[in-house]
Amino acid sequence: MCGIAGAVTLTGKPPGEPLEPMLERERHRGPDDEGVWADAWCRLGHKRLAIIDLSPAGRQPLSNRQGSVWITFNGEIYNFQTLRRELEQDGYVFRTRTDTEVILSAYEKWGLDCLTRLRGMFAFALWDAPRRRLLLARDRVGKKPLFYTTAGGRLLFASELQSLLADPAVPRTVDLPAIDTYLSWGYVPAPQTAFENVFKLPPAHYLTLTLTPAGPVTRLERYWSLGYQAKLRLSEAEAAEALRDTLTEAVRLRMISDVPLGAFLSGGIDSSLIVGLMAGLSSGPVKTFSIGFEEADYNELVHARRVATRFGTDHHEFIVKPDALAILPKLVRHFGEPFADASAIPTYYVSEMTRRHVTVALTGDGGDESFAGYQRYLASRLAARIQRVPGLAMTARAAGGLLPSSRDFKNRWQRASRFLTALTESPAERYGRWVGGSTGHFTEADKVQLYRNRMWAALDGRRPVDWMASLFATAADLDPVDAAMAVDVAAYLPFDLLVKVDITSMANSLEARSPLLDHEVMELAARLPVAFKLRGRVSKYLLRRAFADVLPPENMARGKMGFGVPVGQWLRGPLQGLLADTLIAEPTLLRDCFNTAAVQQLVTAHLEGRADHGFRLWNLLMLELWHREMVSRTTLPTDNVRLYATGSS
């Protein structure tokens, strides 16, 4: 796992600015070694976190034997040993034990088609000098990030936004339509970023830049898609056996490491299964790491301890308190753009604790999106059935407005009301309500009160819900449950969940591996009948059946709790001062683009307990802190955030 950066000329002149300032911003991603290589057209840089082949032979950038093709690589190729044996049979000779060299040889043999043979997580840049061609590539689901831009007559790329911004030619111009999208979903989806003319390479895509006599030629292509329609004809028992074999193999491959490894353990089904499989494959106790809260409704530690006891793990725990928000300025820099998922805070701390003991951690990420773990999948099924009956959706919506109100988004009446009142909306609009807490993210109606003229002029009629609607349109022929999962794989998974895990783990120089996101596991799950994933009200049905003998019954029978954070309570309590000073007293972006009176109304209603606007206020707080840190560079010092969080300000 590493950080990469580079530049390719677009004018024929040498690439210009050195890469060292960009690489220095990625030191946390690779503290073990570094390297830079350049020719007349291209510069490649690398920060190394040594995992496989710890010797100097694994240093990057790395070339083929002829020195004609060079690569800087971030990630892990889990089937590299199998590919290496195949390539050796064809006469390829290897100088290292690394997966990086296998990618080079695979490219030499299969060209761009090599991407479909890689089983793992990756983002890499490969310079083919004879062709004068740069290849940027990203893994199927988007586990490893890759950003790029054009500036100063060059194409620049890096693992993090803050690295690109280290180049003085890259302007920090805010992309207001991207900010609008952020307020709708809590993240900025690819290819957008929060900055104009700075882009994310989308998951499962590659970009080539070829320098020709007529000028540079770029090409962006998708190389993989997850298919749901060719369903497998398997009995339940056969499907359970296939799932067990495939997931066990995915775990085994991710335990290949030359450094110590462990696992995140939440106590939910997914991470508990991974720990159980690791225990069966390991010769010694698995090291496990869990996070908890003082607020009982958010604390899963008792369930994690039960699993740790079952498998005799070397278990470690950490309690997250409001003063943990002292890391917010640091997190904002690492994300590089506004990011509203507050669970990034505990994920950062569990990563920090884990890194004190190991360098690699396996996670349970991906089980919900493949095996129907979220409640919104059942809601999608019920909504589709209700809408088949003329007039029933309108009646149900009216009934939802009569239910008792609650500021607790986990309250069953609150959940029922949120479900019923969204029934007459489009699938994309319903999705927005269901993924954003008690009040959801900001709707188009909310923005009428929130935005000033500057925002409306920048949007020019574009709506973020149209992007989400296009994803649902692509999945229109699928069962409603498969369709909702397909949308999550295209949106929430790569742009929220995986961004959170990559940034918070790599900020601590920790590599996170996710067996449930193995593409062979995902392809198997997608082709299973929907009833194998959601049986009645039972989520992850086949996953529970296939591994019924692995976990304690209490854990296997648990419903989805979610990795929530009590931001609403914190904002009413110890973080009131930070909220007021950031959003009301001296806002920067908010002052120019938002109606501060509307923001004040949200703050007041939340603090007085008349509504739960915790998620929306957190979105605005992260947006304002990002603007101060990354654009106007007037950040709130870390010590001040700590004073707010402890009530000492």
Helix boundaries (H) for 438-550: 444-450, 453-459, 464-474, 480-490, 492, 498-506, 519-526, 541-546
Residue 114: both structure tokens together = 């090599």
DSSP codes, 99-167: HHHHHHHHHHHHGGGGGGG--EEEEEEEEETTTTEEEEEE-SS--S--EEEEETTEEEEESSHHHHTTS
Residue 377: both structure tokens together = 């999948």
* Eight-state DSSP code of residue 495: I
Strands 120-128 and 62-63: unpaired
Strands 287-293 and 261-264: parallel
Contact of 119 with 79, CB cutoff 8 Å? yes
Annotated active-site residue 42? The verdict is no
Question: Dihedral of CA 473/199/212/23: which sign?
Answer: negative
Contact of 354 with 318, CB cutoff 8 Å? no
Residue 489: both structure tokens together = 């794989």
Residue 530: both structure tokens together = 């929907």
Distance from C-alpha of 629 to C-alpha of 636, rounded to nearest angstrom: 8
Distance from C-alpha of 293 to C-alpha of 298, rounded to nearest angstrom: 6
Phi, psi for 426 (deg, rounded to 5): -70, 160
What lies within 8 Å, CB to CB, of 111 at 6+ separation is none
CB atoms within 10 A of CB 311: 22
Amino acid at 506: M
Distance from C-alpha of 394 to C-alpha of 60, rounded to nearest angstrom: 61
Residue 427: both structure tokens together = 């699938």
Question: Please, which residues bridge with residue 317 across strands?
Answer: 290
Cis peptide before 338 (omega within 30 of 0): no
The tokens 């199927």 sit on which residue?
Answer: 140
Maximum CA extent, the chain: 73
N- to C-terminal Cα distance for the chain? Answer: 40
Residue 48, CA distances (Å) to 33, 38, 137, 386 in order: 5, 18, 18, 54
Q: 328 by DSSP, 3-state: which?
A: helix
Residue 39: both structure tokens together = 């020719």
What lies within 8 Å, CB to CB, of 494 at 6+ separation is 141, 142, 189, 190, 203
Strands 261-264 and 360-362: parallel
Distance from C-alpha of 210 to C-alpha of 194, rounded to nearest angstrom: 27
Amino acid at 586: E
Question: Please, which residues bridge with residue 257 across strands?
Answer: none
Catalytic residue, from 2, 42, 114, 593: name it: 2
Residue 307: both structure tokens together = 């699993």
Contact of 8 with 41, CB cutoff 8 Å? yes
Give which of 66, 69, 73 is closest to 50, Cα–Cα: 73
Cis peptide before 61 (omega within 30 of 0): yes
Phi, psi for 360 (deg, rounded to 5): -130, 135
Distance from C-alpha of 179 to C-alpha of 92, rounded to nearest angstrom: 49
Distance from C-alpha of 57 to C-alpha of 64, rounded to nearest angstrom: 13
Write out the catalytic residue numbers. 2
